[in-house]
Amino acid sequence: MEKSAGALVATETTQARQSWKVVLALFCLTSIIEAYGVSQVQTFIPRYLQSLGVSLVDVPQWTGTITSMFFLFGLPLVPLLRGSREKG
């Protein structure tokens, strides 16, 4: 028995409606993992800077600079990630 074109479109539409939930779940999971990883790195930056010989007075400034670099380096990647999402 062959499926009609209407049934195929309905099946594809149902799959498309359900696929966004999978993407959302993956996005949430990767966001949690990323936040956990970045927070672990940021926690030890002050101690690492001290071990490199940075004075205690300069540690807060360098910690803030390094923390902001995470986001500054990631910012140019946003259009690339958006473009790859739209192709898929």
Q: Domain residue spans in the chain?
A: 5-87
| Residues 56 and 50: beta-carbon distance below 8 Å | yes
- pTM for the complete prediction? 0.54
- Rounded CA gap, 88 and 67, in Å? 32
* Higher pLDDT, residue 64 or 84: 64
User: Which residues have CB under 8 Å from 49's CB, separation 6+?
Assistant: 58, 59, 62, 63
pLDDT at 56: 94
* Higher pLDDT, residue 84 or 77: 77
pLDDT at 45: 92
pLDDT at 5: 58
pLDDT at 82: 64
